[in-house]
Structure 1
Amino acid sequence: MPRPLLACLLAAGAAANLLAAGAAELPPGPAAAAPAQRDPSLRPPGVAWFDGELADAFEAARAAGKPVFLYWGAVWCPPCQELKATVFRRRDFLDRLRLFVPIYLDGDAAGAQAWAERFGVSGYPTVLVLRSDQRELERVSGGMDLSRYAEVLDLALGQERPARELLASAASVGGRLSPADCRQLAYNAWALDDAWLYRDSDPQSLAALAGALDRASQLCPSALRVERARLLITALAAELAAEAKGLEQGKAPSAGLRALLGRMPAILDDRGLALAAGDVLQYLPAQYFTASARGDPAQRDWLRARWFALMDALAADQRYSAADQLDALGSKLIAAKALDPGGAVPRPLAREATRRIDQALAREHEPYARASLVNSALNALETLGDMDRATAILSAEIRTAAYPYYYMSDLAALEEKRGHPDVAIQWLARSFHEAQGPATRFQWGVGYVCGLVRMQPQDDVAIRDATVAVLAELDAAGDLHGRTRRSLGRLEASLRQWNRDAAHAAAIGAARERMQSICGKIPADDSARPACEDFLRNA
C-alpha cells in the first residue's frame, strides 16, 4: 500500500538531517536473505502467460501458428516495474498480445541466463518477438509514446524476416526496403542489443551498425519522414557510442559522425517531426551536444534553444509515462551542462529541475510506477551533482521498497564519492547479503568484492573471504552464462588488477581453488566451462 505523502516527506527530511552529520543511516538488516521465491503472481497481471518452459513455449507457438512474445526481466528492475504500471495495463496492447504466445523469463529462473546468452540479451527489461523457430523478428524498446506499443506488435505480426536480416539486406548494394520494412527497422530496439550494451569491447561492430542504419534511413521512402528520422537518430547514437572514448579524449569526430551530425538540424527545425521521434532523441548522450557545437557560440545557442523547447514539450506530454517525462527533463539538464562553457547547469534551471523532481515524486505512490520514477529522478540528480538530495530520496525509498537492495549500491556509490569508504562498503555488503535470486546475488556480490578491492585494497582477508563467498553463489546458480558470465569477467579483471604485483597471491589462490571446485560440476560440453577453468589462471 502506498505510504501517505507526509510519511514520505518525513522520511526524506530525516535522511537529509543525517546527511548533515556526514553519512546516510544504515538501517538494520538481516545477515543473509533467503532465496527469492519465483512466484507467478510477480508476472504482469492481465496476460495469459505461458506457464511452461521456454522451449515448450516455442512448441506451443508452432502448433498455434503464432509468434512468441518473450518478456525478459527481473522483479527488482525499475524499468520492468514501469512496463507493468503502464504498457501491460493498456487494453489495446493486451488485445494484441492475444495473438502471441507470451512468456515471462525472469533472469533468476533456472536456465534463464543461458537462454539470454542464446538470444543476445542482458539488459532488463528486454522484449523480444520471435518466430516459432526461435529466430528473432523484433526487439521492443521502452520510453515510447504509450500508444505505440500496440502498433509495434502489429508491425511484428506482419513481418516474416528478422530485423537484422532486413538491415543486412539494406546495407548491400542495390538493397531495397518496403514501407513495412522501414517501420520494422525504425521501431526495433537496437540499443538493447548486447553489441551496443557492451560496446567497449567491439566499437567497430557498433560503427558498422551505425552505417547500416544510416543507409536504411536513406533507402526508406521519402514519405516515411518519422521512420527515416528515427533511423538517422539511432545511427547517430550508435556512432557516438562507437567513438565515445575518442571524443572524451578530445579527438575530432570522424567524417561519418560529422555527416550524421550535419543532418540533424533538419529534424530539430521541424517541431512535429522532432516530437514524433522524441523517445529516441532524448537519449542522445552529452557527446552529441559537444560534437555538434564544436566551440561555435551561434551553433551552441541554436541547439540549446531547440533542445530545451523540445524536451519541455516531451516533459509535459501525457502520452508518455511520468518516468519518461522526467527523463526528458534529464536530457535537458545533460544538454545544458554539455553546452555551458563552464560545464555547469545554470542555477535557475537546476532549481526548476529539483522542484519538478520533488513534485513528480510527491504525486506518485503506486509501487510499480514509483520505482521507475525514482530511477529517473536519480539520473537527473546525478547530472546536477546533487548528492544530498539523491541520498535523501534513496534513504526514504529503502524503507518502503519491495526490493531495497537495488538502491543500496546507489547509496554506496554516493558514500564513496563523499570519501566515506567504510560506509560505502557496508552498503555494498548489505546489498549482497539481502539480494534475492542466484544471478542477482552473484551480480551484487561482484559489486561488493570490486568495492573492497577499490576502497580497501590492503585488506587481503576481507577480499579473500568475500570473493570465496560470492563464488559460492555459482553453486546455487548452476548457470554460468549471460549476465552471470559477464559479472564473473568483471570480478576476474578487478582481482587481476589488484594482484598485478603478485602481492596478494594467497587470496588469489583461495579464490581460484574455490572456482575450480565449481568447474567440475559444469558439463564438459557447456560453453561456460572454459571461462570457469580459466578464472584467475596465472594471475
Structure 2
Amino acid sequence: MTLKPTLLAASLSLGLLTATLPVLSHAAAPATATSQAVAWQEAGADADIERAFAQARSEKKPLLLYWGAKWCPPCNQLKATLFNRQDFIEQTRAFVAVHIDGDSPGAQKLGTRFKVRGYPTMILFTADGAELTRLPGEIDAPQVLKVMQLGLAGGRPVKAVLADARAGKKLNVNEWRLLGFYSWESDQDQLLPQAQVPALLAQLATAAQSVDPETGTRLWLKSLSASENGKGVSADAAQRERVAKLLASPTESRTLVDVISNGAPDILRALAPQAGPERTALQAQLETALKRFEADTSLSRADRLQALNARVDLARLDVAKTELYPKLNPALVKEVKDQAARADREITDGYERQAVISSAAYLLGQTGQWKDSDELLKAGLAKSHSPYYLMSGLANNAKKQGRKDEALRWSEEAFNKSQGPATRLQWGAGYVANLVELAPQDSERIEKTAALLFNEAAQDKGSFYERSARSLQRVGKSLQQWNAKGQFDPSIKRLRAQLDGICAKVEVADKQRATCEALLPKPGKAG
C-alpha cells in the first residue's frame, strides 16, 4: 500500500496566473447542508462523454474529468476535504465536471479511452477536447486550483508544452507549472516511456530554474524520487547541500511537502546511496522536516500521517521488506501507535475514516505492531461504507504472519462483501491468487471461485477493458501457475470451455475478444 497525501491546506500562490478566481484558504468552509454540491455529470458510456464535450464547446468551458471508486482511500480523502468545500464547488461551476465511477456499466471501457488506471485520477481538458493535463491521486487542493486556473486562462495542452521545452523553446511561468504539477506517475506512456521520465525531469528542472525556481526545485526532487536508487544521479555534496538548505526552510519545504513526504526514502537513496556520514546527516535533515509536517495542523490528517509514514520508511531503509518485527526507535513505534489510536478515536466522518484508518493500520504493521493493526481494522469494519477494503488488510496481515486459514477466511469474506462489477473482479482475483498460493490442493474451491468470476464478467460488457481486464488476466495467470504441471487439467478444461462460450459472444472485431481468449490459452498457444 502507498499512502497518498492530499495537501488541502497549503497556501495558494497563483503568481502570474492570468485568470481570477477565489483563492482556497486554510479556513475555507465545508459546504453546508443547503449548499449546492459539485454538479458532476455521471458518465458510463462514450455517448455520455460526447454529450459533455459538446456542452463544453457550446459553453466555452474546460472539462474536468474525475475517475474514482467508492472504496478507494484517496478518493474518499478528496470527498472529505475538497469536493465538499464551498469555494471549490463555486470554482467548478466554471467547468463541465464529469465523474466516472469505476464500477458503473461501461466505465472500464472509458478508462481505456482516457488511459486511466489508478484511482483517483483527474484530467483537465480544453473546451475543444484536447487533454490539458492530468493530476495524480495525491494532488492537494491548492495544486488542483492552480491547474484549474491554467485551464480557465486558456493554457496549452501539456503535450505541446513539453515538446517546446524539449526543443529548448522559451516557456512562461504558467507552462513550467503545468509540467511541474503534471502526474508523471499516471502518464501511461502518453508523453514518453516511463523509463525516460527521471532523466527528462532532471533536464526540465535545470531549464525551469531560471524562470520559476519553485517549479525547478519541484521537478528536480521528482527526478530524484523517480530514479532507481539514484541511477543517473550525481550524488555529490552540492546536491546534498541544496536539499539540506531546502529542508531547513519551513516556508520552502512546506510548498513541496507532497514531493518530500512521498519521496523521502528515494531522495535519500539517490543522494546518499551508501551508509555513512552523508546519509546520516541527510536522513536527520529529512526527519526534522517530516516532524515539522506532522505538527502542521493546516495539513489534513492524512497528509500528517504520510509524513509519519515517510519517517517509518526512512527508519526501515536498510531493513528487509519481509522483516515483520523491525528493531526501530521505541519512540517512533509509540508515536505510530498513539497516532493510530487518535485517528480511530477522533475521526467520525465516513469518508475520512476510509482514507485514514487503513493507512494507520498499515503503519502499525510496518512497525511490528500486528495485533494493534488487526484490532484497528476490525474496529473499523462496522464504521466503514466499504468494509471489504479493511478485510483485505486483515487478510494481508494474516498472510504475512503465516496464518494461512485466517488469511483465506478474510480474503473470502472480502470478496463476498465486495460491491460493483470492477471491484468484485479485483477482489475476486486477489482471492483466487491467495487460494492458489495458500491452498493449491483445494481444487474445488479454486475452480468454483474462478467460474463465478468468469460468469460475473460475462454479465458486464466492460469486463475485458482496463482494470477489469487486468483483474481477469491476474486470474488467468494464477490458474496457469496452479496447473503448471498439468495436475489440475480437468478443472482448467472446464473453465476454458466456460470462457470459450463467453468469448464467442464478443464480436470478432472487438478488442475484448482477444483479451478474453488470451486468459486461458489452449496448449501450444502463447499466453
TM beyond 0.5: yes
Aligned partner of 2:490 in structure 1 is 506
Q: Deviations over 1:389-410 (max 9, x none)?
A: 1111110111221111111111
Counterpart amino acid of residue 242 in structure 2: A
Are 1:233 and 2:221 counterparts? yes
Are 1:456 and 2:450 counterparts? no
Are 1:280 and 2:251 counterparts? no
Relative to 1, partners in 2 of residues 1:403 and 1:522: Cα closer, same or farther, differing over 3 Å?
A: same
Aligned partner of 1:335 in structure 2 is 314
Residue of structure 2 aligned with 1:82, choices 62, 77, 91: 77
Distance 2:261 2:181 in 1: 15
Distance 2:253 2:318 in 1: 20
* Segment drifting more, 163-172 vs 53-62: 163-172
Are 1:141 and 2:117 counterparts? no
Aligned partner of 2:429 in structure 1 is 446
Residue 316 of structure 2 aligns to a residue in which SS?
Answer: helix
Are 1:470 and 2:453 counterparts? yes
Residue of structure 2 aligned with 1:266, choices 226, 242, 248: 242
Distance 1:396 1:157 in 2: 45
Distance 1:119 1:376 in 2: 29
Instruction: Give the 5 Å matches for 1:55-134.
Output: 55-134=50-129
Are 1:224 and 2:208 counterparts? no
Q: Deviations over 1:277-311 (max 9, x none)?
A: 11112111644434433334211221121111111
Distance 1:45 1:459 in 2: 53
- Where relative contact order (Cα < 8 A, 6+ residues apart) is larger, the structure is 1
Distance 1:237 1:269 in 2: 18
Report the count of equivalent residues: 476
Residue 134 of structure 2 aligns to a residue in which SS?
Answer: strand
Counterpart amino acid of residue 49 in structure 1: W
Residue of structure 2 aligned with 1:294, choices 257, 269, 273: 273
Counterpart amino acid of residue 448 in structure 2: D
Deviation at 1:223, TM superposition (A): 4.9
Residue of structure 1 aligned with 2:233, choices 257, 261, 273: 257
Aligned partner of 1:48 in structure 2 is 39
Relative to 1, partners in 2 of residues 1:481 and 1:132: Cα closer, same or farther, differing over 3 Å?
A: farther
Distance 2:64 2:237 in 1: 35
Aligned partner of 1:347 in structure 2 is 330
Residue 83 of structure 2 aligns to a residue in which SS?
Answer: helix
Distance 2:401 2:209 in 1: 53
Q: Is the 8 A contact 1:453 1:498 kept in 2?
A: yes
Are 1:485 and 2:469 counterparts? yes
Counterpart amino acid of residue 239 in structure 2: R
* Segment drifting more, 136-145 vs 174-183: 136-145
Give the TM-score, by structure 2 length: 0.85
Gap regions ≥5 residues in structure 1:
1-43, 197-203, 241-246, 248-252
Deviation at 1:97, TM superposition (A): 0.9
Instruction: Give the 5 Å matches for 1:2-41.
Output: none
Relative to 1, partners in 2 of residues 1:293 and 1:506: Cα closer, same or farther, differing over 3 Å?
A: same
Distance 1:441 1:236 in 2: 37
Aligned partner of 2:520 in structure 1 is 536
Residue 413 of structure 2 aligns to a residue in which SS?
Answer: helix
Aligned partner of 1:151 in structure 2 is 146
Counterpart amino acid of residue 182 in structure 2: N
Residue of structure 1 aligned with 2:384, choices 378, 398, 401: 401
Relative to 1, partners in 2 of residues 1:465 and 1:340: Cα closer, same or farther, differing over 3 Å?
A: closer
Aligned partner of 2:11 in structure 1 is none
Q: Deviations over 1:212-270 (max 9, x none)?
A: 22221111142522211111122222223xxxxxx5xxxxx43x134699735413422
Relative to 1, partners in 2 of residues 1:423 and 1:340: Cα closer, same or farther, differing over 3 Å?
A: closer
Are 1:303 and 2:297 counterparts? no
Are 1:382 and 2:376 counterparts? no
Residue of structure 1 aligned with 2:159, choices 148, 164, 167: 164
Residue 170 of structure 2 aligns to a residue in which SS?
Answer: coil
Identity of paired residues, percent? 32
Residue 338 of structure 1 aligns to a residue in which SS?
Answer: coil
Relative to 1, partners in 2 of residues 1:265 and 1:106: Cα closer, same or farther, differing over 3 Å?
A: farther
Are 1:184 and 2:178 counterparts? yes
Deviation at 1:195, TM superposition (A): 4.9
Counterpart amino acid of residue 426 in structure 2: Q
Q: Is the 8 A contact 1:207 1:239 kept in 2?
A: no
Q: Deviations over 1:122-162 (max 9, x none)?
A: 11111111134443211123445543432231123224432
Aligned partner of 1:193 in structure 2 is 187
Aligned partner of 1:322 in structure 2 is 301
Deviation at 1:415, TM superposition (A): 1.2
Q: Is the 8 A contact 1:387 1:414 kept in 2?
A: yes
Q: Is the 8 A contact 1:74 1:107 kept in 2?
A: yes
Deviation at 1:167, TM superposition (A): 2.2
Q: Is the 8 A contact 1:156 1:184 kept in 2?
A: no
Give the TM-score, by structure 1 length: 0.83
Query: Which structure: greater helix fraction?
Result: 1
Counterpart amino acid of residue 517 in structure 1: G
Q: Is the 8 A contact 2:218 2:256 kept in 1?
A: yes
